[in-house]
Amino acid sequence: MSEHDQYFRVAGGARLAGEVQVGGAKNSVLKLMAAALLAEGVTTIRNCPDILDVPLMADVLRGLGCLVDFVGDVVRIDVPAELKFQADFPAVRQFRASVCVLGPLIARCQKAVVALPGGDAIGSRPLDMHQAGLRKLGARCAIEHGEVIAEADDLHGAEILLEFPSVGATENILMAAVLAKGQTVIENVAREPEIVDLCDMLGKMGAKIEGAGTSVIRVEGVARLDPVEHSVIGDRIVGATWGMAAALTGGDVQVNGVDPEHLRVVLGKLRDVGAHVVEGPNSFRVRQDERPRGVNYSTLPFPGFPTDLQPIAIALAAVSNGVSIITENVFEARFRFVEEMIRLGADAHADGHHAVVRGVPRLSSAPVWASDIRAAAGLVLAGLVADGVTEVHEVHHVDRGYPLFVENLNRLGAEVQRVDSGQ
Protein backbone atom coordinates (compact mmCIF):
# COMPACT_ATOMS: atom_id res chain seq x y z
CA MET A 1 0.00 0.00 0.00
CA SER A 2 1.62 3.29 -1.03
CA GLU A 3 1.64 6.38 1.16
CA HIS A 4 -0.56 8.10 -1.46
CA ASP A 5 -3.33 5.65 -0.41
CA GLN A 6 -3.19 6.68 3.24
CA TYR A 7 -4.99 9.30 5.26
CA PHE A 8 -4.87 10.62 8.82
CA ARG A 9 -7.80 10.01 11.16
CA VAL A 10 -7.75 12.87 13.68
CA ALA A 11 -9.89 12.79 16.84
CA GLY A 12 -11.13 16.20 17.96
CA GLY A 13 -10.86 17.61 21.46
CA ALA A 14 -7.13 17.13 22.05
CA ARG A 15 -5.01 19.38 24.27
CA LEU A 16 -1.32 19.09 23.43
CA ALA A 17 1.04 19.00 26.41
CA GLY A 18 4.60 17.78 26.91
CA GLU A 19 7.98 18.09 25.20
CA VAL A 20 8.91 17.70 21.56
CA GLN A 21 12.39 17.48 20.00
CA VAL A 22 12.90 19.20 16.64
CA GLY A 23 15.46 17.84 14.16
CA GLY A 24 17.51 19.56 11.47
CA ALA A 25 15.94 22.10 9.11
CA LYS A 26 14.45 20.74 5.89
CA ASN A 27 15.21 24.04 4.16
CA SER A 28 18.86 23.80 5.20
CA VAL A 29 19.89 20.14 4.94
CA LEU A 30 19.09 19.76 1.24
CA LYS A 31 21.21 22.81 0.33
CA LEU A 32 24.07 21.61 2.56
CA MET A 33 23.98 18.24 0.78
CA ALA A 34 24.20 20.08 -2.56
CA ALA A 35 27.08 22.22 -1.25
CA ALA A 36 29.05 19.02 -0.59
CA LEU A 37 29.43 18.78 -4.39
CA LEU A 38 31.84 21.73 -4.24
CA ALA A 39 34.64 19.68 -2.62
CA GLU A 40 36.13 16.35 -3.61
CA GLY A 41 36.18 13.83 -0.73
CA VAL A 42 33.88 12.93 2.17
CA THR A 43 31.61 15.58 3.69
CA THR A 44 29.67 14.59 6.84
CA ILE A 45 26.39 16.30 7.73
CA ARG A 46 24.88 15.71 11.18
CA ASN A 47 21.40 16.36 12.65
CA CYS A 48 19.69 15.41 9.35
CA PRO A 49 15.88 15.25 9.69
CA ASP A 50 14.09 11.98 8.95
CA ILE A 51 11.99 13.31 6.05
CA LEU A 52 11.32 12.04 2.52
CA ASP A 53 13.26 14.80 0.75
CA VAL A 54 16.62 13.75 2.30
CA PRO A 55 16.82 10.31 0.61
CA LEU A 56 15.51 11.97 -2.58
CA MET A 57 18.44 14.43 -2.48
CA ALA A 58 20.77 11.49 -1.79
CA ASP A 59 19.47 9.90 -5.01
CA VAL A 60 20.18 13.13 -6.89
CA LEU A 61 23.79 13.16 -5.59
CA ARG A 62 24.26 9.45 -6.40
CA GLY A 63 23.08 10.18 -9.94
CA LEU A 64 25.90 12.75 -10.19
CA GLY A 65 28.49 10.14 -9.18
CA CYS A 66 28.63 10.52 -5.37
CA LEU A 67 28.52 7.73 -2.80
CA VAL A 68 25.96 8.58 -0.10
CA ASP A 69 25.24 6.65 3.08
CA PHE A 70 23.18 7.22 6.22
CA VAL A 71 23.77 6.20 9.83
CA GLY A 72 20.97 7.50 12.06
CA ASP A 73 20.82 11.27 11.59
CA VAL A 74 24.25 11.45 9.93
CA VAL A 75 24.74 11.49 6.15
CA ARG A 76 28.16 10.99 4.54
CA ILE A 77 28.68 12.16 0.97
CA ASP A 78 31.78 10.96 -0.90
CA VAL A 79 32.23 13.32 -3.85
CA PRO A 80 34.39 12.13 -6.79
CA ALA A 81 37.05 14.17 -8.60
CA GLU A 82 35.01 13.89 -11.82
CA LEU A 83 31.36 14.75 -11.28
CA LYS A 84 28.60 14.08 -13.77
CA PHE A 85 26.93 17.36 -14.72
CA GLN A 86 23.52 16.04 -15.84
CA ALA A 87 20.81 15.96 -13.18
CA ASP A 88 17.87 15.01 -15.36
CA PHE A 89 16.68 11.77 -13.77
CA PRO A 90 13.33 11.12 -11.99
CA ALA A 91 14.47 12.05 -8.44
CA VAL A 92 15.31 15.58 -9.61
CA ARG A 93 11.79 16.21 -10.90
CA GLN A 94 10.17 15.09 -7.65
CA PHE A 95 11.00 18.07 -5.44
CA ARG A 96 11.97 21.66 -6.00
CA ALA A 97 15.09 21.81 -3.78
CA SER A 98 16.88 19.65 -6.37
CA VAL A 99 17.52 22.79 -8.44
CA CYS A 100 20.12 23.88 -5.85
CA VAL A 101 22.66 21.52 -7.47
CA LEU A 102 22.80 24.01 -10.37
CA GLY A 103 25.26 26.41 -8.68
CA PRO A 104 27.68 23.73 -7.42
CA LEU A 105 27.67 21.90 -10.78
CA ILE A 106 28.44 25.00 -12.86
CA ALA A 107 31.24 25.83 -10.38
CA ARG A 108 32.78 22.33 -10.40
CA CYS A 109 32.09 21.14 -13.95
CA GLN A 110 31.65 24.41 -15.90
CA LYS A 111 28.46 22.81 -17.16
CA ALA A 112 25.11 21.81 -15.65
CA VAL A 113 21.93 20.25 -16.98
CA VAL A 114 19.20 20.17 -14.31
CA ALA A 115 15.61 19.06 -14.87
CA LEU A 116 13.01 21.59 -13.78
CA PRO A 117 11.68 20.50 -10.41
CA GLY A 118 8.22 19.65 -9.15
CA GLY A 119 7.23 20.01 -5.49
CA ASP A 120 4.38 21.79 -3.78
CA ALA A 121 1.37 23.33 -5.49
CA ILE A 122 1.79 26.80 -3.95
CA GLY A 123 2.42 28.99 -6.98
CA SER A 124 4.97 29.61 -9.69
CA ARG A 125 8.69 29.46 -8.89
CA PRO A 126 10.46 30.71 -11.99
CA LEU A 127 14.23 30.34 -12.17
CA ASP A 128 14.72 33.75 -13.80
CA MET A 129 16.76 35.17 -10.90
CA HIS A 130 18.93 32.06 -10.68
CA GLN A 131 19.75 32.33 -14.38
CA ALA A 132 20.27 36.11 -14.33
CA GLY A 133 22.75 35.78 -11.46
CA LEU A 134 24.68 32.94 -13.09
CA ARG A 135 24.85 34.93 -16.35
CA LYS A 136 26.45 37.81 -14.43
CA LEU A 137 29.09 35.33 -13.23
CA GLY A 138 29.85 34.41 -16.85
CA ALA A 139 27.57 31.43 -17.47
CA ARG A 140 25.34 30.92 -20.49
CA CYS A 141 21.88 29.74 -19.33
CA ALA A 142 18.71 28.62 -21.05
CA ILE A 143 15.65 26.48 -20.36
CA GLU A 144 15.15 23.85 -23.06
CA HIS A 145 12.91 20.78 -23.10
CA GLY A 146 12.10 21.10 -19.38
CA GLU A 147 15.74 21.42 -18.32
CA VAL A 148 17.95 24.29 -17.17
CA ILE A 149 21.16 24.17 -19.21
CA ALA A 150 24.11 26.25 -18.05
CA GLU A 151 27.75 26.34 -19.17
CA ALA A 152 30.72 28.61 -18.58
CA ASP A 153 34.30 28.77 -19.84
CA ASP A 154 35.27 30.62 -16.66
CA LEU A 155 33.23 31.97 -13.78
CA HIS A 156 34.26 35.43 -12.61
CA GLY A 157 33.16 37.74 -9.80
CA ALA A 158 30.34 40.22 -10.46
CA GLU A 159 27.94 42.66 -8.82
CA ILE A 160 24.48 41.12 -8.65
CA LEU A 161 21.25 42.73 -7.45
CA LEU A 162 18.34 40.36 -6.80
CA GLU A 163 14.93 41.84 -7.61
CA PHE A 164 13.47 39.82 -4.70
CA PRO A 165 15.34 38.18 -1.77
CA SER A 166 14.82 34.69 -3.18
CA VAL A 167 16.29 31.93 -0.99
CA GLY A 168 16.90 29.57 -3.92
CA ALA A 169 18.53 32.20 -6.13
CA THR A 170 20.73 33.41 -3.23
CA GLU A 171 21.91 29.82 -2.62
CA ASN A 172 22.64 28.95 -6.25
CA ILE A 173 24.50 32.21 -6.98
CA LEU A 174 26.43 31.94 -3.72
CA MET A 175 27.53 28.35 -4.40
CA ALA A 176 28.69 29.27 -7.89
CA ALA A 177 30.49 32.42 -6.66
CA VAL A 178 32.66 30.68 -4.04
CA LEU A 179 34.75 29.08 -6.81
CA ALA A 180 34.58 32.02 -9.26
CA LYS A 181 37.65 34.22 -9.87
CA GLY A 182 37.57 37.56 -8.01
CA GLN A 183 34.97 39.22 -5.81
CA THR A 184 31.20 38.82 -6.07
CA VAL A 185 28.80 41.20 -4.31
CA ILE A 186 25.19 40.01 -4.10
CA GLU A 187 22.65 42.61 -2.95
CA ASN A 188 19.09 42.13 -1.66
CA VAL A 189 19.91 38.53 -0.74
CA ALA A 190 17.75 36.28 1.44
CA ARG A 191 18.57 36.60 5.14
CA GLU A 192 17.05 33.34 6.38
CA PRO A 193 18.88 31.36 9.11
CA GLU A 194 19.23 28.55 6.55
CA ILE A 195 21.32 30.90 4.35
CA VAL A 196 23.54 31.62 7.36
CA ASP A 197 23.85 27.86 7.96
CA LEU A 198 24.95 27.33 4.34
CA CYS A 199 27.48 30.18 4.62
CA ASP A 200 28.82 28.67 7.86
CA MET A 201 29.42 25.32 6.16
CA LEU A 202 30.96 26.94 3.06
CA GLY A 203 33.23 28.96 5.36
CA LYS A 204 34.44 25.75 7.05
CA MET A 205 35.14 24.36 3.56
CA GLY A 206 37.45 27.32 2.89
CA ALA A 207 35.11 29.79 1.17
CA LYS A 208 35.57 33.50 1.91
CA ILE A 209 32.13 34.94 2.64
CA GLU A 210 31.11 38.10 4.50
CA GLY A 211 27.64 39.41 5.34
CA ALA A 212 25.64 36.21 5.91
CA GLY A 213 22.35 37.15 7.58
CA THR A 214 22.44 40.69 6.17
CA SER A 215 21.04 41.89 2.83
CA VAL A 216 24.50 42.12 1.17
CA ILE A 217 26.85 39.14 0.85
CA ARG A 218 30.44 39.49 -0.39
CA VAL A 219 32.32 36.48 -1.72
CA GLU A 220 36.01 36.33 -2.54
CA GLY A 221 36.44 33.37 -4.89
CA VAL A 222 38.93 30.62 -4.01
CA ALA A 223 40.56 27.97 -6.19
CA ARG A 224 39.24 24.95 -4.25
CA LEU A 225 37.23 23.87 -1.24
CA ASP A 226 37.74 20.98 1.19
CA PRO A 227 35.20 18.50 2.60
CA VAL A 228 34.04 19.12 6.20
CA GLU A 229 31.80 17.99 9.05
CA HIS A 230 28.79 20.19 9.77
CA SER A 231 25.64 20.00 11.91
CA VAL A 232 22.31 21.27 10.51
CA ILE A 233 20.48 24.02 12.45
CA GLY A 234 17.11 23.15 14.03
CA ASP A 235 13.99 23.45 11.87
CA ARG A 236 12.32 26.73 12.87
CA ILE A 237 9.19 25.98 10.82
CA VAL A 238 8.63 22.62 12.54
CA GLY A 239 9.39 24.22 15.92
CA ALA A 240 6.95 27.05 15.28
CA THR A 241 4.29 24.55 14.16
CA TRP A 242 4.46 22.84 17.57
CA GLY A 243 4.38 26.20 19.37
CA MET A 244 1.33 27.34 17.42
CA ALA A 245 -0.30 23.91 17.96
CA ALA A 246 -0.01 24.51 21.71
CA ALA A 247 -1.85 27.84 21.35
CA LEU A 248 -4.45 26.29 19.03
CA THR A 249 -5.35 23.47 21.44
CA GLY A 250 -5.07 25.40 24.70
CA GLY A 251 -2.01 23.34 25.47
CA ASP A 252 1.45 23.57 27.03
CA VAL A 253 4.36 22.44 24.86
CA GLN A 254 8.12 22.66 25.39
CA VAL A 255 9.90 22.77 22.00
CA ASN A 256 13.58 21.71 22.06
CA GLY A 257 16.24 21.97 19.35
CA VAL A 258 15.32 25.36 17.83
CA ASP A 259 16.95 28.76 18.34
CA PRO A 260 14.17 31.19 19.43
CA GLU A 261 16.14 33.99 17.73
CA HIS A 262 15.04 32.40 14.42
CA LEU A 263 11.38 32.88 15.44
CA ARG A 264 11.22 36.45 16.81
CA VAL A 265 8.09 37.48 14.87
CA VAL A 266 6.31 34.15 15.37
CA LEU A 267 6.86 34.11 19.13
CA GLY A 268 5.70 37.74 19.21
CA LYS A 269 2.45 36.71 17.46
CA LEU A 270 1.96 33.89 19.98
CA ARG A 271 2.27 36.42 22.80
CA ASP A 272 -0.27 38.61 20.96
CA VAL A 273 -2.83 35.77 20.87
CA GLY A 274 -2.43 35.48 24.65
CA ALA A 275 0.06 32.64 25.02
CA HIS A 276 2.71 32.54 27.74
CA VAL A 277 6.03 32.12 25.92
CA VAL A 278 9.28 31.33 27.76
CA GLU A 279 12.53 31.17 25.78
CA GLY A 280 15.58 29.02 26.54
CA PRO A 281 19.04 28.81 24.92
CA ASN A 282 17.90 26.38 22.17
CA SER A 283 14.26 25.93 23.11
CA PHE A 284 10.99 27.66 23.96
CA ARG A 285 7.77 26.81 25.77
CA VAL A 286 4.25 27.90 24.79
CA ARG A 287 1.28 27.68 27.19
CA GLN A 288 -2.22 28.85 26.26
CA ASP A 289 -4.63 29.10 29.22
CA GLU A 290 -7.65 30.73 27.55
CA ARG A 291 -9.15 31.00 24.08
CA PRO A 292 -6.61 32.67 21.74
CA ARG A 293 -7.26 36.22 20.53
CA GLY A 294 -7.58 37.03 16.82
CA VAL A 295 -4.54 38.85 15.42
CA ASN A 296 -3.40 39.88 11.93
CA TYR A 297 -0.59 38.09 10.08
CA SER A 298 1.40 39.28 7.07
CA THR A 299 3.86 36.87 5.44
CA LEU A 300 7.23 38.29 4.41
CA PRO A 301 10.75 37.04 3.73
CA PHE A 302 12.86 36.57 6.87
CA PRO A 303 12.88 38.12 9.43
CA GLY A 304 9.13 38.52 8.76
CA PHE A 305 6.36 36.00 9.44
CA PRO A 306 7.17 32.89 7.32
CA THR A 307 4.90 32.02 4.41
CA ASP A 308 5.37 28.36 5.43
CA LEU A 309 3.41 29.06 8.62
CA GLN A 310 0.50 30.78 6.90
CA PRO A 311 -1.77 27.68 6.91
CA ILE A 312 -1.04 27.10 10.62
CA ALA A 313 -1.88 30.80 11.29
CA ILE A 314 -5.22 30.37 9.49
CA ALA A 315 -6.01 27.27 11.55
CA LEU A 316 -5.20 29.20 14.74
CA ALA A 317 -7.26 32.20 13.58
CA ALA A 318 -10.22 29.89 12.84
CA VAL A 319 -10.74 29.19 16.57
CA SER A 320 -9.50 32.53 17.92
CA ASN A 321 -11.76 35.13 19.52
CA GLY A 322 -12.34 37.91 16.96
CA VAL A 323 -11.38 38.62 13.35
CA SER A 324 -7.94 37.92 11.87
CA ILE A 325 -6.70 39.18 8.50
CA ILE A 326 -3.96 37.07 6.93
CA THR A 327 -2.01 38.70 4.08
CA GLU A 328 0.07 36.48 1.79
CA ASN A 329 2.93 38.39 0.16
CA VAL A 330 5.16 35.50 -0.98
CA PHE A 331 3.25 32.67 -2.74
CA GLU A 332 0.11 33.46 -4.67
CA ALA A 333 -1.59 30.04 -4.62
CA ARG A 334 -1.31 29.31 -0.90
CA PHE A 335 -4.92 30.20 -0.09
CA ARG A 336 -6.24 26.93 -1.53
CA PHE A 337 -5.98 25.87 2.10
CA VAL A 338 -8.87 28.19 3.04
CA GLU A 339 -11.36 26.11 1.00
CA GLU A 340 -10.47 23.03 3.05
CA MET A 341 -10.77 25.00 6.31
CA ILE A 342 -14.29 26.08 5.27
CA ARG A 343 -15.19 22.36 5.00
CA LEU A 344 -14.20 22.14 8.67
CA GLY A 345 -16.61 24.92 9.57
CA ALA A 346 -14.21 27.87 9.56
CA ASP A 347 -15.79 31.27 8.91
CA ALA A 348 -13.22 32.37 6.34
CA HIS A 349 -12.92 33.75 2.86
CA ALA A 350 -9.89 34.48 0.69
CA ASP A 351 -9.59 37.18 -1.93
CA GLY A 352 -6.34 37.58 -3.84
CA HIS A 353 -3.60 38.16 -1.27
CA HIS A 354 -5.88 38.31 1.77
CA ALA A 355 -7.87 35.91 3.90
CA VAL A 356 -10.38 37.16 6.47
CA VAL A 357 -11.10 34.69 9.27
CA ARG A 358 -13.77 35.19 11.96
CA GLY A 359 -13.00 32.81 14.78
CA VAL A 360 -15.58 30.25 15.90
CA PRO A 361 -15.43 28.43 19.26
CA ARG A 362 -15.07 25.01 17.63
CA LEU A 363 -14.64 23.51 14.17
CA SER A 364 -16.63 20.52 12.84
CA SER A 365 -15.07 17.38 11.42
CA ALA A 366 -15.07 16.61 7.69
CA PRO A 367 -12.93 14.86 5.07
CA VAL A 368 -10.29 17.32 3.77
CA TRP A 369 -7.43 17.23 1.26
CA ALA A 370 -3.92 18.67 1.70
CA SER A 371 -2.20 20.44 -1.21
CA ASP A 372 1.29 20.85 0.29
CA ILE A 373 3.43 20.09 3.37
CA ARG A 374 2.22 22.97 5.55
CA ALA A 375 -1.43 22.63 4.50
CA ALA A 376 -1.28 18.98 5.61
CA ALA A 377 0.03 19.99 9.04
CA GLY A 378 -2.50 22.83 9.32
CA LEU A 379 -5.45 20.55 8.54
CA VAL A 380 -4.35 17.94 11.09
CA LEU A 381 -4.01 20.65 13.77
CA ALA A 382 -7.44 22.02 12.80
CA GLY A 383 -8.81 18.50 13.21
CA LEU A 384 -7.61 18.51 16.82
CA VAL A 385 -10.04 21.36 17.60
CA ALA A 386 -12.99 20.01 15.61
CA ASP A 387 -15.97 17.99 16.92
CA GLY A 388 -15.79 14.33 15.91
CA VAL A 389 -13.20 12.66 13.69
CA THR A 390 -11.55 14.48 10.77
CA GLU A 391 -10.00 12.62 7.83
CA VAL A 392 -7.01 14.38 6.21
CA HIS A 393 -6.12 12.97 2.79
CA GLU A 394 -2.91 13.27 0.72
CA VAL A 395 -0.82 12.73 3.86
CA HIS A 396 2.36 11.98 1.93
CA HIS A 397 2.95 15.75 1.92
CA VAL A 398 3.50 15.87 5.67
CA ASP A 399 6.25 13.23 5.46
CA ARG A 400 8.29 15.62 3.31
CA GLY A 401 8.58 18.18 6.11
CA TYR A 402 7.69 16.76 9.53
CA PRO A 403 9.65 13.83 10.99
CA LEU A 404 7.58 11.48 13.18
CA PHE A 405 4.57 13.79 12.90
CA VAL A 406 1.93 11.31 14.10
CA GLU A 407 4.20 9.87 16.80
CA ASN A 408 4.96 13.34 18.20
CA LEU A 409 1.28 14.35 18.16
CA ASN A 410 0.24 11.20 20.01
CA ARG A 411 3.06 11.64 22.53
CA LEU A 412 1.69 15.14 23.22
CA GLY A 413 -1.80 13.77 23.89
CA ALA A 414 -3.51 13.74 20.49
CA GLU A 415 -5.28 10.77 18.92
CA VAL A 416 -4.11 10.59 15.31
CA GLN A 417 -3.90 7.42 13.21
CA ARG A 418 -2.36 6.82 9.79
CA VAL A 419 -4.88 4.64 7.96
CA ASP A 420 -4.65 2.74 4.67
CA SER A 421 -7.53 3.82 2.43
CA GLY A 422 -8.60 0.21 1.90
CA GLN A 423 -9.47 -0.16 5.60
For the stretch 144-201, pLDDT in tens is: 888 889 999 999 999 999 999 999 999 999 999 999 999 999 999 999 999 999 999 9
6-23+234-420 against 26-231: fold identical? yes
Q: Which residues are annotated as a binding site for UDP-N-acetyl-alpha-D-glucosamine?
A: 96, 308, 330
Catalytic-labelled residue, pool 120, 197, 200, 372: 120
CB 216 within 8 A of CB 223: no
Q: What is the fold, at CATH topology level, of the domain defined by 26-231?
A: UDP-n-acetylglucosamine1-carboxyvinyl-transferase; Chain (3.65.10)
Rounded Cα gap, residues 382 and 363, in angstroms: 7
Bridge-based pairing of strands 229-231 and 41-46 is: parallel
Q: Which residues are annotated as a binding site?
A: 26-27, 96, 308, 330
Q: What is the fold, at CATH topology level, of the domain defined by 6-23+234-420?
A: UDP-n-acetylglucosamine1-carboxyvinyl-transferase; Chain (3.65.10)
Least confident of 88-92, 188-192, 325-329, 355-359: 88-92
Q: Across all residues in the chain, what is the average pLDDT?
A: 94
For the stretch 123-138, pLDDT in tens is: 445 688 999 999 999 9
Rounded Cα gap, residues 188 and 215, in angstroms: 5
For the stretch 37-47, pLDDT in tens is: 999 999 999 99
Q: What is the arithmetic mean of pLDDT over 256-282?
A: 98
**What is the phi/psi pair of residue 294, to 5°?**
-70, 135
For every residue of 3-29, DSSP letters joined together read GGGEEEEEES----EEEEE--B-HHHH
pLDDT at 98: 85
CB 178 within 8 A of CB 217: no
Amino acid of residue 93:
R
pLDDT band at 352 (very low <50, low <70, confident <90, very high): confident
Listed in sequence order, the residues at least 6 apart from 340 whose beta carbon sits closer than 8 Å to its beta carbon are 368, 369, 370, 371, 375, 379
pLDDT band at 116 (very low <50, low <70, confident <90, very high): confident
Listed in sequence order, the residues at least 6 apart from 268 whose beta carbon sits closer than 8 Å to its beta carbon are none
Rounded Cα gap, residues 265 and 243, in angstroms: 13
Q: What is the arithmetic mean of pLDDT over 341-358?
A: 95
Q: Catalytic: 78?
A: no
Q: Which residues are annotated as a binding site for phosphoenolpyruvate?
A: 26-27
Bridge-based pairing of strands 208-210 and 216-220 is: antiparallel
pLDDT at 124: 44
Please report, for the chain, the start and end positions of each structural domain, with discontinuous segments joined by +: 6-23+234-420, 26-231
pTM of the model: 0.94
pLDDT at 421: 81
